[in-house]
Structure 1
């Protein structure tokens, strides 16, 4: 198993709320979410939530190879909940949450699970990669952004509009007609996108947080195939470097409106034999 991994926080000196790890025949990536600088009701924080859930999930999918991935995720969420429900407010509206991507090679197939707006690239030999992304959050977000995208990123007006947007988004979290993400409720795992692909058909598997996919799905400056070629030839860190370079040229979000000028960015690339 040959894995390369790179991860950068949104800003230097700031805690990275992404988490990624690999074990023989399995890998996970999580992108933690909360309210930056605001109260989450959790004394541990978003980074603790994503890393704790990610570690438990990787252990579960490797230790219980026959157990379906959604059940592994639900079990892991229950364990994380038990670790802090006595000290934290898990019904707080801003309680930490996380996207989840998990893959596991078993028998002759690669099983996968995607929950939230992180992405999974399944690359065949000489073919366009298959992209698995949970777009329900994006679809909800488009309905709620209102005037947010017309304001300069980082301005006081943008901060107010962003807070209002996040308030509205929270009301639709883990609800029918809204979007689903890993949080205190293990039932969210039932709504993950799942599937399997023949191992013999795959050349590589790549897990990316949405901070690392911006060149493709937000800036539209490259294709998935081109992004994957960068990762394959120069490594995950080079893709993230190109994202940061592009963000720096549009720090106020004039060309590409976005909630944050920079975001935590993580890429895990697994080359199959």
Structure 2
């Protein structure tokens, strides 16, 4: 098993709310989300939530091979809820949440589960790259984020519009007319994207948080095929370096409107035997 993994926070002094890890036969990646600088109802914080959920999910994948990945995710969400529901207000509208990407080898296939806008790249031995990512949050966001994108990133006006946007998103979180994300409710796991691919058809897989996929889906500086080729040729660190360069070239979000000038970025590349 050959794994290359790089994960960097948005800024050196900020906690990294991404989490990624692997074991022989599987890997997970999570991208935590909350309200920057605001109350979440959880005394532990977003980074704690994403890393704890990721660790529990990883252990469940190993210990419960008979469960589907969606069932493993539901079990992990329930377990993490039990760890802090006595101390934290999990009914708070801004309670921490996280995207999830997980893969596992079982019975000659690579199984996957994807919840939220992190991405899974499946590279076949014939050179084709399939991308699995949950775009329901993006579809909801497009309807709501016009006022945010019209303002310079980091300005007081942008911060105010962003707060209103996030409040509106919260009202659509884990609802049929909105989007699904891992949070306090294990029901979200039932709405994840799932599938499997014959293992012998794959050359490698890449798990990426949306802070790394910005190179494609926000900045449009590469295609998915070009992004995968960059991972293979130069490694995950080069992907994140190019993302950081693009962010630095447009700090106010004029060329590429976005909620955060910089974001946590994680790339995990698993080369299959």
Superposed counterparts of 1:113-128, under 5 Å: 113-128=113-128
Large movers: runs of 4+ above 2 Å: none
The aligned runs of 1:74-89 (5 Å cut-off) are 74-89=74-89
- In structure 1, the partner of 2:50 is 50
Q: 1:175 corresponds to which residue?
A: 175
* 1:126 shift after superposition: 3.7
Indicate whether 1:40 and 2:40 are aligned.
yes
Residue 184 of structure 1 aligns to a residue in which SS?
Answer: coil
- State the Cα distance separating 1:128 from its structure 2 match: 2.6
* Stretches of structure 1 lacking an aligned partner (at least 5 in a row): none
Distance 2:84 2:117 in 1: 25
Whether 1:111 and 2:111 are equivalent positions in the alignment is: yes
Does 2:219 align with 1:223? no
SS at match of 1:147: helix
Q: TM-score, normalised by structure 2?
A: 0.99
Aligned to 2:22: 22
SS of the residue 1:57 aligns to: helix
**In 2, Cα distance between the equivalents of 1:232 and 1:159?**
37
CA RMSD of aligned residues (A): 0.7
Report the equivalent of 1:135: 135
The match for 1:209 is: 209
Whole-Å Cα distance in 2 between the matches of residues 6 and 196 of structure 1? Answer: 25
Corresponding residue SS for 1:48: helix
- What secondary structure sits across from 2:212 in the alignment? coil
Query: How much does 1:64 deviate?
Result: 1.3
Partner in structure 2 of residue 255 of structure 1: 255
Which residue does 2:145 correspond to in 1? 145
Secondary structure of the 1:213 match is: helix
Offset at residue 247 of structure 1 (A): 0.7
Q: TM-score, normalised by structure 1?
A: 0.99
Task: Decide which moves more: 62-71 or 239-248.
Answer: 62-71
Q: How far apart, in 2, do the equivalents of 1:66 and 1:198 lie?
A: 18
In structure 2, runs of 5+ residues without a counterpart are none
* Residue 234 of structure 1, CA deviation: 1.3
Shift of 1:147: 1.5
Three-state SS of the structure 2 residue aligned to 1:172 is: coil
Partner Cα distance (1:146, 1:209) in 2: 23
Deviation per residue, 1:88-145 (Å, 9 max, x gap):
0000010000000000011210000000000000001242310000000000000011
Task: Supply the distance in 2 between the matched residues of 1:64 and 1:176 (Cα, whole angstroms).
Answer: 29
1:225 Cα offset (Å):
1.2
Of the structure 1 ranges 48-57 and 224-233, higher mean CA displacement relative to structure 2 is found in 224-233
Partner Cα separation in structure 2 for residue 143 and residue 71 of structure 1: 32
